[in-house]
Amino acid sequence: MESLVSFLSSNAIYIVLIIVLIVWVGVFGYLFMLDKRLKNIESEMKGENK
C-alpha cells in the first residue's frame, strides 16, 4: 500500500486516470439503475399482455 501511494505521488497522471475511472463508475451505476427500472417496466408489460 505504501509503495502504491509513493508510486502514485511520483506519477500524478495515474491519479487523474483513477479520477476519470471513478466518474465513469458513477455514470455506469446510473445506467445500471435505469436498466433495472426498464426491466421492471418490461416484465410488467409482459404480464399485461397475457
Partner 1 sequence: MIWKILLFLIIAFVSVAGIAFPIVEKPEFWYQFPLIPGLEENAKIIFFHVPTSWLTVIAFLMSTIYSIKYLRRKDLIDDAKAHTAAQLGMIFCILATVTGAVWAKFAWGSFWSWDPRQTSIFALLLIYGALFALRSAVEQEEKRATLASVYSIIAFVTVPFFIFIMPRIMKGLHPGSADDTHSGPVVDFKMNSNMLLIFYLSLIGFTILYYWMWQVGYKSMIYKDKLNKQF
Binding site for partner 1 (CB under 8 A): 5, 8-9, 12-13, 15-20, 22-23, 26-27, 29-30, 34, 37-38, 40-41, 44-45, 48
Nearest residue to 19 via CA among 8, 4, 33: 8
Q: How far is the CB of 19 from partner 1 (least distance, A)?
A: 5
Closest to 8 (Cα-Cα) out of 48, 36, 19: 19
Rounded Cα–Cα distance for residues 4 and 8 (Å): 6
